[in-house]
Amino acid sequence: MIRAYCARALAGVAVLLGLAAGNVLAQAEELRLAVTDVEGLERLQTEWGPVKAALEKASGLEFKFFPVNNRTAAAEALRAKKVDLVITGPAEYVIINKLTDAKPLIGFGRPDYLCAIVVMARSPYLRPMDLKGQKVAFKDVGSTSGHLCPMQLLADYGIAPMSDISRVHTSQNLQHEALKRGDVAAIGVNYNSWVSKARNKDTSVRPGDFRVIARSGDLPNDVLMIGAHVDSAVGEKISNVFIDHQNEIVAAITTNEENAKYEGMTFIKVVDKDYDIVRAMYGAIGHTQFAEFVGE
């Protein structure tokens, strides 16, 4: 009798928990989504509209774009509970996590996402240490693969990046041209992006005209973050949708050429400690509090 009563009670609890989770998901009628490197609603709809449609079809939830002008705006919106989900890069994740307690949900596993230090093959620079006292060009301040990673890479090889070299920041194409002209001794780049967008498209040079003197390992992934105010049941559902329907969602992301960097990617579940390597990179440029975005 007691055993039967306990069984009925446990079954009742299970039903109640299931109903509670269902109610939580039902209440999440509209999840607001921001992408930190896409400004304006029109661009969001063009570049990420197919993704929104794929997510809605797979999850049964509704998503609404929330445009932000910069990374700080995304963090402020999360803190004010005006946005629920944010797609951002590894460097941005570290700061947003510190400012808002938002958590990583899904990593965008990009193939060959690494940085490199590149010099001209005919130059005298054979090792990173040879760059001491020289000028090195990086991408935007705060870029994971074009600034933070190359700075850490130099530090790993014994260069003090804040004092042993002269640093300039510019676009990838201008980096490439400056290196060819000899205006800089080396460039710190997202290797895959530089190869496909600059080196291989430049008919004035051959791939053998360049030498890579240092490469990093694969970098942590771009990430979908979820606000601390969003119920964990909602986060778990979204996470499972990305994993279970990744073929459809990846196809939707890569329909737009602006998202070509995601070709061949896979979605993986990530946790905060996966981004400790990025925190170390911030240390290489003297930023250890993660209280603000560098370069903004």
Q: What is the pTM assigned to this prediction?
A: 0.86
Q: What is the pLDDT of residues 239-251, one digit of tens each?
A: 999 999 999 999 9
| Arithmetic mean of pLDDT, 2-27 | 44
Amino acid identity, position 234: V
- pLDDT bin (cut points 50, 70, 90) of residue 11 is very low
- pLDDT bin (cut points 50, 70, 90) of residue 173 is very high
94: pLDDT strictly greater than 50: yes
Extended strands (E) in 90-207: 103-109, 115-120, 135-138, 166-169, 186-190
CA atoms within 13 A on the CB side of 84: 17
Instruction: Give, for 267, the enclosing helix (H) or strand (E).
Output: strand 266-269
Predicted pLDDT of residue 168: 97
Extended strands (E) in 55-125: 63-65, 85-88, 103-109, 115-120
- pLDDT bin (cut points 50, 70, 90) of residue 295 is confident
- The answer to whether the CB of 128 falls within 8 A of the CB of 212 is no
Predicted pLDDT of residue 217: 96
22: pLDDT strictly greater than 50: no
Instruction: Give, for 236, the enclosing helix (H) or strand (E).
Output: helix 232-244
| Arithmetic mean of pLDDT, 11-37 | 60
